[in-house]
Homo-oligomer: A and B are copies of this chain.
């Protein structure tokens, strides 16, 4: 095997406010530490697809104890969900050529060490679904939609479901899950293109562009403050999907047939190449993506 070289994207400094191109840097190709991949329990993978997700923003901030994921360290490679192909494995159960999903680095090749290597999930080739789906509808966003809708919110058929950020990685699925359940589904998004998508692609019953509602919506939101939780008997509930991971097999068994039947569709916004990754992540926080934001690096061999 020729010596492998890998570019990588690092966080340059902690972010306050919105991240910009100045906060990240694509470093030129350097030798991959293949010896590290030979250590017991480690895996060397070629990254095929990277995921841009909102939770990455708080990880770019100066560490604070309140958040639920660890902060990135300036000078080191950004990590996130991705799909990769195993190049060399010192981990039982994974072999060269296997496709995996899980947490990887924003780089061409990653050496994934224990215990993280053991947390990679082997992708079953019999699914026949796009590999990027394992960062979306079959990954964290999809499972978040499932747990949040079916387990936390748990509405009944006939009830009205409102989804904000409704064309995004999670929202588009919540809307479709709600429609499948027989709810009346209303969504909001930030452009006419996205609102059209909600109605015409995802089957929302109604949708609006929150940027065009102007003073009325802003006024309504100002007036509708927390005290109305009482009179409107509202429940607000936070959750993170890893707490519910025992339900993932149930979700997978439920959603894969729906995807194959076309009853659940998934819209992705795919950019090409590692050099486009920082811009794609930045765009996410300005709503520039239409659907789940993905970065495609390579095809499987």
Name A residues whose Cβ lies closer than 8 Å to a Cβ of B: 66-68, 223-224, 226, 228-240, 243
Contact = CB atoms under 8 A, between A and B. Distances in A.
When all copies of this chain in the complex are counted, the total is: 2
25 contacts: A66-B223, A66-B224, A66-B228, A66-B232, A68-B230, A68-B231, A229-B238, A230-B238, A230-B240, A231-B238, A231-B240, A232-B238, A233-B238, A233-B239, A233-B240, A233-B243, A234-B236, A234-B237, A234-B238, A235-B235, A235-B236, A235-B237, A235-B238, A236-B237, A237-B237
Among A226, A231, A232, A240, the one with the most B-chain Cβ atoms within 10 Å of its Cβ is A231
Nearest to A55: B230
Nearest to A230: B238
Contacts of A66: 223-224, 228, 231-232
Nearest to A64: B223
Contacts of A236: 226, 229, 234-237
A167 to B, nearest CB: 20
Contacts of A228: 66, 238
A237 B231 contact: no
Nearest to A224: B66
Given A230-B240, A237-B237, 19 more contacts: A66-B224, A66-B228, A66-B231, A67-B231, A68-B231, A229-B237, A230-B239, A231-B240, A232-B238, A233-B239, A233-B240, A233-B243, A234-B236, A234-B237, A234-B238, A235-B235, A235-B238, A236-B236, A236-B237
Contacts of A237: 229, 233-237
A158 to B, nearest CB: 20
A226 B224 CA distance: 15
A223 B237 CA distance: 18
A276 B18 CA distance: 56
Nearest to A237: B235
A11 B240 CA distance: 49
Contacts of A226: 236
Nearest to A66: B228
A239 B235 CA distance: 9
Contacts of A243: 233
Contacts of A68: 230-231
